[in-house]
Structure 1
Amino acid sequence: MAEQKELPLREKANGPVKFGHGLRDEQFLFDPSYRNLNHGSYGTIPRAIQTARRAYQDQAEAAPDRFIRYIYPDLLDRSRAAIAAHLRVPTDTCVFVANATTGVNTVLRNLVWNPDGRDEILYFDTIYGGCHKTIEYVIETHPGLLSARAIPLAYPLEDAEIVAAFHDAVDASIAAGKRPRLSLFDVVSSLPGVRFPFEDLTLASRERGLLALIDGAQGVGMVDIDLGKVDPDFFVSNCHKWLHVPRGCAVFYVPVRNQALIRSTVPTSHGFAPRASAEDDDGDDASGEEGLQPEPPRKFNPLPASKKSAFVQAFQSFGTVDNTPYLCVADSLKWREEVLGGEERILTEVTALAREGGQKIADILGTKVLDNASRSLTRCSMVNVALPLAVKLEEGDAEALNVDIDEELASRPSFPKSEIPVISGWIQRKLVDEYNTFVSLYVYRGRWWARVSAQVYVELEDFEWVGNVLKELSERVVKGEYKQ
């Protein structure tokens, strides 16, 4: 393995650093006037990790062949071992891909669907849009072979209710003559940004005979994940969102029992191994039969020979792109331990800040936080707060959208559904242009919500500030300023 230089970590005379603006100004790269309250979309990195990445890039440019062919694989193994230990699984079950959507695509494009057309994918209607589009694509490109079934959710729900909805969907699929084949669900869903009972759903999938694919796009670094204990069939999680790793990097976990199912990377590259030979209809080897073209010679693989498993070798290199973010995973985990005080401290303090900050915003707006009685939805680093704006529902909408029109919601200024994109777009652009910040806005169950992220560089004062900003912008919407 290539010799590694120590990261320029902060000297800690009195233990881990204090979280908040001091850490932001000293360790991170933000414009001093920018308030980053949307960490959940793109993440960010500290200066130390930027330095580490640039060092890897400098090595690559100093001697491209030496670095890419011989040094890079060892550094990659170092990061694979670090993330595997973090997730409590064997190193040979973990590789890296560019992002969570790539991992989901890799699974769905590799699975072989039964020819009887009964296979069905089950997913929740809060699925990330890119993953939903992938399901649609796979169905379209395998006509007649599979279908999909959405499981509707109407938050706030308790975890047990979500699991019960899954079982009901499996029963409905079977009753319809389908074969529930795979379930796709989140660690923390995107919109709404709430924690999902992924552990219980993995167990439920196993009990009902489904493969469990966990989309942890929002996951590692914000939720404690004991993957060895959960034991899903496939798991992918972005490291660049909450683990302070450069974009784009995601860990892709496949237990050994399922690695034979993942025959190709996306895109397919040197690691793909074609099947040994074709067979005729009688099951006899058809190679050399009249009318069949002889099998072409196996293409030369320009990469150094390796004794690693076919799965690990395939994902080691599949395209000439800048994969230095993968190499920073070990550095980021070390930085989080030595500078921030370790994962337990990070998760505990940031989750508490999200909860307290979300309630602060709700108090300012006179609305509420999206949570359930057990508070399981907010056991993460994001919080969803209702804006004082409602959607004007047409006849039948309340029932169709499962909207409870309580007294509080009925008292809010309402706007036609056709104006949802205009109002959301106007608020978000004003956040950037006039207030130098951003939060994700979405409409759910008849009203607007804001998803706000907590992080180690954020303070409660930031939540109070953005609460007043959202109040001011909501008042400007009511005055009709968005129409201009």
Structure 2
Amino acid sequence: MIGPIKIPILHFLKITILLYTKMGEVSLTEEVKYERTPFGKDMLKHFAFDPAWKNLNHGSFGAAPRAIRNKQRAYQDECDARPDLFIRYRYPKLLDESRAAMAKLLNAPIETVVYVSNATMGVNTILRNIPWHDDGRDEILYFNTIYGACGKTVECVAEINRYAVQPREMHVTYPLSDADVVKVFKDSIRASRAARKFPRVAIFDTVSSLPGLRVPFEQLTQICKEEGILSLIDGAHGVGHIPLDLSAVDPDFFVSNAHKWLFVPRGCAVLFVPVRNQGLIRSSLPTSHGFQPKTSGGGTPSSLPPAKNSKFVNNFEFVGTIDNTNYLVAPEAIKWRDEVCGGEKAIMEYTSNLAREGGKAVAKLLGTKILDNDEHTLTACNLVNVLLPLEVSESAIPGTNTVKSADKYEVTLKLQKILIEEHNTFIAIFFFQGQWWARLSGQVYLDITDFEWVAGKLKDVCERAGKQGFLESKN
């Protein structure tokens, strides 16, 4: 009788990869070469959008090219073929390679970079790990334009810590110059200390969500250094969107979605914690095998192979059983952007210019304006906010685009629903500073005609919203 055949692990992998290559799947052993594609509608062939759908809201959920999704699916197939081999031995190696590619893109040391599922998870991970002082003086500073989920996180952290830490909102009214934003920040720090509080952490965006505006995060980070405040940058709209150099900015914490603007499949975000602060981050969310208890016993031994990285990196390597093959394809996304699009600089120049010029075109047709300051720093990104021709008052005025104040949120939801159901698009419409705005995204697969097209649709729905019975009508 012939005994069991012993085949080395790497040989198993080669057999698995070969089998799936023969079945028509993406090869994981052969390097793919991509061809340059012009920006605009030619780029649509790389994405899986329904031909009838106009994707003018890339900023919310992103979109990954087919080639990147196929690469991820090849890893999924490899995992399904031999789950334990892939998850225990192959995945950690691939994850380190992906972390290295992301670290290079951000100009950050590899030991400072890990992955989490999204920016909200990153913000939660930081705030729920900070050891707050027990004298009740700690404060978390944040602007009133904070992303909604992160704002609720601040409130929740205060609540579960029995208000050992308190939130302090910093109010800005746009448009503002960068210097004015900095002044509001400095004034808030002074106000916190005047109230005998301790401003412990400050959260601010790279580019805020609603409205979509670039924030002078570099200057705010520097102020935090000078004032002894921990800086937490919510870069949900960061990597792949605007130029980033984390070694130069040197924040205390930074998180950025890779699935929005870098074309990595959702959900994937990079979490940056410099070595000086890694001792503060005791656990991932949820706590998993990488956690190192301070008890003498050291906790239950892990059944996973011995970790080769630092305690911080190991904390985030295996966080429960979940499909994180999207974390592995960041290098392929970066390569795709280089070869198909011409690199980060070319992408950012096209998309930011398109957002700015497209926003102006929409505003011109609507007879309104875009939200910007005199220095045009607010629009130095891929998002643009256009004022809608809708007014709000205590009572609707017949014959005008006027909505009752009490109905403003219901009207907002209905406007978005009509755009989806009748026009196969979605626009982030929001009520801000007493007015309605539409946030539009610039992206490599769009051109100016897409903005001109949506301008007509926005004009139509705004005119309908001002008519009597709008909320009662079927559409």
The TM-score, its normalising length taken from structure 2, stands at 0.91
Partner of 1:137: 156
Return the match for 2:454 from 466, 469, 472: 466
Deviations 1:452-482 (A, max 9, x none): 0010000100000000100011111112333
Kindly indicate whether the alpha-carbon contact (under 8 Å) linking 1:7 and 1:48 is maintained by their aligned counterparts in 2. Answer: no
Q: Summarize the alignment of residues 331-342 of structure 1 with structure 2, pairs less than 5 Å apart.
A: 331-342=332-343
Return the match for 1:482 from 464, 468, 471: 471
Distance across 2 between alignment mates of 1:165 and 1:393 = 32
Confirm whether residue 90 of structure 1 aligns to residue 109 of structure 2: yes
Kindly indicate whether the alpha-carbon contact (under 8 Å) linking 1:387 and 1:449 is maintained by their aligned counterparts in 2. Answer: yes
Confirm whether residue 454 of structure 1 aligns to residue 442 of structure 2: yes
Partner of 2:21: none
Post-superposition offset of 1:129: 0.6
Return the match for 1:256 from 275, 278, 281: 275
Post-superposition offset of 1:414: 3.0
Kindly indicate whether the alpha-carbon contact (under 8 Å) linking 1:7 and 1:331 is maintained by their aligned counterparts in 2. Answer: no
Q: Summarize the alignment of residues 4-19 of structure 1 with structure 2, pairs less than 5 Å apart.
A: 4-6=28-30, 8-11=32-35, 16-19=36-39
Gaps of 5+ in 1: 278-295, 395-410
Post-superposition offset of 1:273: 1.1
Post-superposition offset of 1:47: 1.0
Partner of 1:117: 136
1:34 aligned counterpart, secondary structure: coil
Distance across 2 between alignment mates of 1:417 and 1:128 = 24
Kindly indicate whether the alpha-carbon contact (under 8 Å) linking 1:9 and 1:48 is maintained by their aligned counterparts in 2. Answer: no
Distance across 2 between alignment mates of 1:63 and 1:364 = 57
Q: Summarize the alignment of residues 79-228 of structure 1 with structure 2, pairs less than 5 Å apart.
A: 79-228=98-247
1:388 aligned counterpart, secondary structure: coil
1:299 aligned counterpart, secondary structure: coil
Distance across 1 between alignment mates of 2:158 and 2:375 = 37
Confirm whether residue 71 of structure 1 aligns to residue 90 of structure 2: yes
Distance across 2 between alignment mates of 1:301 and 1:457 = 46
Distance across 2 between alignment mates of 1:230 and 1:241 = 22
1:452 aligned counterpart, secondary structure: strand
Post-superposition offset of 1:5: 3.2
Return the match for 1:52 from 47, 68, 71: 71
**Structure 1 pair 424–55 and aligned structure 2 pair: CA distance change class (3 A):** same
Read off the aligned partner of 1:74 and give its amino acid letter. Answer: K
Distance across 2 between alignment mates of 1:90 and 1:215 = 19
Kindly indicate whether the alpha-carbon contact (under 8 Å) linking 1:390 and 1:415 is maintained by their aligned counterparts in 2. Answer: yes
Distance across 1 between alignment mates of 2:339 and 2:73 = 21
Kindly indicate whether the alpha-carbon contact (under 8 Å) linking 1:362 and 1:385 is maintained by their aligned counterparts in 2. Answer: yes
Post-superposition offset of 1:392: 1.9
Partner of 1:317: 318
Confirm whether residue 23 of structure 1 aligns to residue 43 of structure 2: yes
Read off the aligned partner of 2:440 and give its amino acid letter. Answer: V
Distance across 2 between alignment mates of 1:318 and 1:183 = 27
**Structure 1 pair 98–392 and aligned structure 2 pair: CA distance change class (3 A):** same
Read off the aligned partner of 2:409 and give its amino acid letter. Answer: P
1:372 aligned counterpart, secondary structure: coil
CA RMSD of aligned residues (A): 1.5
Distance across 2 between alignment mates of 1:304 and 1:412 = 68
Distance across 2 between alignment mates of 1:367 and 1:347 = 26
Count of aligned positions: 445
Read off the aligned partner of 1:436 and give its amino acid letter. Answer: N
Distance across 2 between alignment mates of 1:475 and 1:204 = 46
Kindly indicate whether the alpha-carbon contact (under 8 Å) linking 1:8 and 1:48 is maintained by their aligned counterparts in 2. Answer: no
Distance across 2 between alignment mates of 1:348 and 1:393 = 43
Distance across 2 between alignment mates of 1:152 and 1:317 = 39
Post-superposition offset of 1:417: 2.4
Deviations 1:193-218 (A, max 9, x none): 00011100000111111000000111
**Structure 1 pair 478–298 and aligned structure 2 pair: CA distance change class (3 A):** closer
Post-superposition offset of 1:10: 3.4
Distance across 2 between alignment mates of 1:393 and 1:192 = 24
Deviations 1:33-54 (A, max 9, x none): 1100000000001110011011
Post-superposition offset of 1:298: 2.7
Deviations 1:242-275 (A, max 9, x none): 0000000000000000000000000011111111
Post-superposition offset of 1:17: 1.6
1:449 aligned counterpart, secondary structure: strand
2:416 aligned counterpart, secondary structure: helix
Return the match for 1:445 from 421, 424, 433: 433
The TM-score, its normalising length taken from structure 1, stands at 0.90
Read off the aligned partner of 1:471 and give its amino acid letter. Answer: K
Deviations 1:269-298 (A, max 9, x none): 111111145xxxxxxxxxxxxxxxxxx673
Kindly indicate whether the alpha-carbon contact (under 8 Å) linking 1:118 and 1:177 is maintained by their aligned counterparts in 2. Answer: yes
Distance across 2 between alignment mates of 1:69 and 1:412 = 64
Read off the aligned partner of 2:420 and give its amino acid letter. Answer: V
Post-superposition offset of 1:115: 1.1
Gaps of 5+ in 2: 1-9, 15-27
Post-superposition offset of 1:391: 2.1
Kindly indicate whether the alpha-carbon contact (under 8 Å) linking 2:293 and 2:299 is maintained by their aligned counterparts in 1. Answer: no
Kindly indicate whether the alpha-carbon contact (under 8 Å) linking 1:73 and 1:316 is maintained by their aligned counterparts in 2. Answer: yes
Partner of 2:4: none
Q: Give % identity.
A: 51
Partner of 1:352: 353
Read off the aligned partner of 1:23 and give its amino acid letter. Answer: M
Partner of 1:285: none
Distance across 2 between alignment mates of 1:236 and 1:104 = 7
Deviations 1:384-404 (A, max 9, x none): 00000122269xxxxxxxxxx
Distance across 2 between alignment mates of 1:381 and 1:180 = 32
Post-superposition offset of 1:483: 3.0
Post-superposition offset of 1:420: 1.2
Distance across 2 between alignment mates of 1:152 and 1:391 = 22
Kindly indicate whether the alpha-carbon contact (under 8 Å) linking 1:44 and 1:246 is maintained by their aligned counterparts in 2. Answer: yes
Post-superposition offset of 1:6: 4.1
